[in-house]
A and B are shown apart, each in its own frame.
Chain A
């Protein structure tokens, strides 16, 4: 494809969501009104994100894979000559996968919201915020000017804040009807409810890091004489003294590490994830976290290599602590509440023993661990490690996106994401998801094993390469130290496997047949015997999922209401029809729209696992180029 077309495509990818956001706030033009304004604007969101996805795929097709290290589809316009800030867009092998993944995840989120608009506010605002968020993330991956990068980096904050604060689920009101009571907020306290507090914390943490990062970026830009990321990367820190580089990397690193998040700076993440709506969690975990690690690879490594070299061991150490911390925290959450203290013993004191074992919180903590691998890969400063980090970035985006979608689905069906409750819910029928919603259970198990890094799935390669890089870190880095990190990270993978399998066992299989009432909202207490219940439920579930697409059309009954009655049994017409004679604790298996939103993620996870070369072949030349200083 010609350069001009590529250039236009990339510019359109960045600008289109912004225009879409403005358009979402305007009344729909005649002919596009749809059934009602709400449906029209949600459809508008799907259209725009779909268009962006199509354009980014076209961009990927037109991309010259023989020159993956070169910046392609460049646009370079003067914007603010006073500060030497240019609108400089372009993609290479590092940013292209992230760009496509962002477009994909946002599209899936828009699609999901079309059928399941989270309650909280007007859909128009929701769609507009979603599109602004998309614009910000896409711009972050596409811009090649330090100041513009900062601008794009900050642009996502406000939309994400409102997504969490307005459309978030109630945090940890386990069992209570989810959306009934907005807690009376103090007059002007920064946070009224849990989600507002979480959103507030999210924005404050990130901003705190950002301001420090801005100083670092300015330091590099002013001492390096330009804000152009390509020029700075090919200078490879030539014009910067060692101390300048260390200070700059430290400052930039803090800002990016908050976003990534790196271990001691992660504490905003679990709350934000727990409070965010499903779509917000998917984008936060799948895309926003990647902005931090992408920034490290794109800015810190090539532009201030000396500084990165000095600070890399510390980054690696923090990363490994993050891996262990994340997995221990998850383990503590995953174990049944009653067993938690005695099984973990002394480690229980080390982990944040939350009273509520929220599944969303667990995945958030697991993100801390997974992003630890990414950071470890970056900290090796070797092409292997960095490639692994970039691969793990994509893999984590896909898998975490899937997991958050699945947890969202669980929440919708059970009204809670509390792990104890989900496991308890399982007791009713003896075998939870496997028995009652086999596809959902299967997908959850799939997501979990992909996340724990089963070879053959996406999660494996990135973490393997990151650890492989740590086996032989870049020249001048202490090998023994990195070997220790490697061993600890290896321990982390074991712990990860442990907690994910525990989760799968508890949620998908259930825990024995002792007592415990079912939490399916509004469902009567179980009365049938498990032996007869299971087949019936399975039958119902398969019957309902046998024709998934039939339920997918826009007219799917539940999608009309702004606030779907979460977990209500009559959301599954087929299931109730089949089993209505006896009991209705059967839950809906995967709906059509859910299948549509999740399939791409599953397929890509498998593809990336089976054919990692496709992605690595893309990133490797670019990484070599960046680390080698453009020589």
Chain B
């Protein structure tokens, strides 16, 4: 009597599910509000969305270390569908923080590209809600649903640019390949369900330890197929083909979003499935993930290396491919977890992935923000898109702070001081592989780090290159001004009132390139006056915010690296 009554009314821990729920609710509210808002008030929707994401993020605070669980089986209170442990909170922080930064990055894009505001914010928030739900889901059905909630809005977001053939093509490509992957995952899940008789991760893990020998093959096939859907989301090779076209076709903030949150969705799903559900099949998914990781980083980095800087949109192409490479590093600890001797070792390995992902999220979003900034500045009627790597040449001369920020982000991605956090995140990943005894993977990763260093550094070096004579007049539309014979070039640059250290050196260099002192182009003037297009405050804010996060993490790497040592589940 009592049991039936209790099973009919589930008690729900609203606090535990607040972050994804709130995100979804705000998303719906924005969609509805869009109908009643006048056109000029539409920008308000963006701010409401950002506020919603921020509040949802704040709800993570009470969840820290609380280990809440809800939607549990009545019969067995330990088997729950939704668990808010440290892992969940860390990933939700990544997702909500990443979505918040994406939203900040989107503010001007929505306005400028005339994207439908209501739909845009609704889709972004729903996708974020799905992504936030994913790490908490502890049954396979919720997992797949969360995966779809995170993905379906993303297809629409990619294709949101109306009248843009490339955008629709990208969306279609993304959609078709994603749907196939999901179908395969569903098939795998059904196989697993067939062998274990349960959807709950805890029960599946238990059931797989004593599978009927006749169903052994089915179970193995189920495990392998389930992984594919998540590998697809992570953009692991060979499921990566959608990445470059999709990133290039999508609005820039959405590309940034996919590169960070899209990947987070993939690897959290992988972690939940592999480490939690299929722990006893580590000998199947361990080597598979290791090979996947090696392939992913190699293909991604080699392709990034082959990008030609002068091609249109080469900056986005490079970031897209490099994100494939980075996905490889994210997979490495998961593979190492498959070789771990104990559950604690596996958790440490997973922690390295989480730490790396948090670093990657901040830094990659920052890099996208600077690319957006440069594109925005370069975009003039008749000019290029501003998305080429060549548009970043000598950026330091025109926008020293943006160049410094991008240089910092790239060095973080490369793992080189001053990008201390990038270095230590890589160290954490490396240490998991060495711990697991996967020597070959460590070597492959080392080679990849070197390849990646090559193109990241190339880009960084280009930022600080001196402007060539041909470019000097282009960056100084004011034209050559007669120089004051008395003042030395650097003195002239410093005279313009800006910080001496951050003042472009172009003045000094231009003198060396175009000899006669009388025709000295004072490039410094360009930075001082209002010739260059104004950068939207939201873009600047995104760059500033990500820089602050990156610098803070570099000073105190423990902030993210403690995931690599503590217990997550």
Contact = CB atoms under 8 A, between A and B. Distances in A.
Asked whether A and B interact, the reply is yes
Interface of A: 24-28, 36-38, 41, 79-83, 85, 119-125, 128, 136, 147, 150-151, 154-155, 157-158, 161-162, 165-166, 179-182, 184-185, 187-188, 190, 192, 196, 200, 203-204, 207-208, 211-212, 214-215, 218-219, 221-222, 560-563
A150 B424 CA distance: 10
Interface residues of B, number: 63
Given A121-B508, A150-B423, 5 more contacts: A80-B561, A120-B508, A151-B423, A188-B309, A219-B434
B417 A218 contact: no
B449 A83 contact: no
B558 A80 contact: yes
Contact of A38 (B390, B454, B490): B490
A38 B449 contact: no
B565 interface: yes
Contacts of B513: 181-182
Contacts of A154: 416-417, 423
Contact of B416 (A157, A166, A212): A157
B512 interface: yes
A192 B494 contact: no
Given A38-B494, A185-B468, A562-B488, A214 B427 contact: yes
A222 B436 CA distance: 11
Contacts of A123: 490
Nearest to B432: A222
B503 A563 contact: no
8 contacts: A28-B500, A121-B508, A122-B500, A122-B503, A154-B416, A154-B423, A166-B505, A218-B434
A192 B464 CA distance: 12
A121 B513 CA distance: 12
Name the prevailing secondary structure of the A interface residues. helix
Contacts of B13: none
A97 to B, nearest CB: 25
A184 B468 contact: yes
Contacts of B511: 563
B166 interface: no
Contacts of B428: 82-83
A187 B393 contact: yes
B512 A182 contact: yes
Contacts of A207: 416, 450, 453, 457
A185 B465 contact: yes
Contacts of B562: 81-82
B491 interface: yes
Contacts of B565: 81-83
A82 B411 contact: no
B558 A81 contact: yes
A83 B561 contact: yes
Contacts of B505: 121-122, 125, 166
B9 interface: no
Given A80-B558, A81-B565, A82-B563, A122 B461 contact: no
A79 B424 CA distance: 12
Contacts of B494: 36-38, 122
Contacts of B564: 82-83
Contacts of A196: 461, 465
B512 A561 contact: no
Contacts of A188: 309-310, 389-390, 393, 458, 462
B466 A182 contact: yes
A562 B453 CA distance: 33
Contact of B491 (A38, A181, A204, A214): A38
Given A187-B309, A218-B431, A222-B435, A165 B490 contact: no
B62 to A, nearest CB: 24
Contacts of A219: 434
Contacts of B462: 188
Nearest to B351: A82
B393 to A, nearest CB: 6
Contacts of A119: 508, 512
B561 to A, nearest CB: 4
A441 B455 CA distance: 46
B515 A180 contact: yes
Given A128-B501, A158-B418, A180-B515, A190 B458 contact: yes
Nearest to A180: B515
Nearest to B447: A211
A190 B501 contact: no
Nearest to B310: A187
B424 A80 contact: yes
A172 B489 CA distance: 26
A563 B468 contact: no
A211 B417 contact: no
A123 B507 CA distance: 13
Interface in B555-569: 557-558, 561-566
A155 to B, nearest CB: 4
B107 interface: no
Contacts of B434: 215, 218-219, 222
Interface in B403-436: 411, 416-418, 420, 423-424, 427-428, 430-431, 434-435
Contact of A561 (B431, B468, B488): B488
Contact of B417 (A128, A158, A181, A192): A158
Interface string B429-451: 01100110000001100100110
B144 interface: no
B499 interface: yes
B236 interface: no
B478 interface: no
B222 to A, nearest CB: 35
Nearest to B435: A222
B435 A166 contact: no
Contacts of A190: 458, 461
A28 B411 CA distance: 29
A219 B557 CA distance: 21
A151 B420 contact: yes
A86 B259 CA distance: 33
Contacts of A185: 465, 468
Interface string B286-309: 000000000000000000000001
Nearest to A157: B416
A180 B512 contact: yes
A130 B484 CA distance: 30
A124 B500 contact: yes
Interface string B504-519: 0100110111010000
Nearest to A563: B512
B418 to A, nearest CB: 7
B458 A82 contact: no
B558 A79 contact: yes
Contacts of B493: 122
